[in-house]
Amino acid sequence: MKTLNAKITNPISELISDDIYDLLHSHGLIDEKAVRDYQIRKKFKSLRATKVSAGEAIDTIREEYPYLQFDTIRKIVYQISK
């Protein structure tokens, strides 16, 4: 019987290696919501750098994450780090 080892794509490859991400993920040590929020903030920053308005940037991100409300994304991108 063959076992499939499906590789999980590393959404934070600029921070940690794929091997470390796979290890952490396999042990349930990755906070998926925090990774999603990191990706949203990164995308927002990238869009704003190209002179896209904040509202348009949030609307663009909403297309990628349709289950999130406009205000939820706004809170994520303007969240103050503790």
> In the chain, what are the domain boundaries?
1-30, 31-77
Answer whether residue 5 shows pLDDT above 60. Answer: no
**Encoding tokens for residue 19?**
């091997």
Answer whether residue 4 shows pLDDT above 60. Answer: no
79 touches 60 (CB < 8 A): no
**How many CA within 13 A on the CB side of residue 81?**
4
How many other CB atoms sit within 10 Å of the CB of residue 76?
Answer: 20
Answer whether residue 7 shows pLDDT above 80. Answer: no
pTM: 0.83
What confidence tens digit (pLDDT) does each residue in 32-75 have?
999 999 999 999 999 999 999 999 999 999 999 999 999 999 99
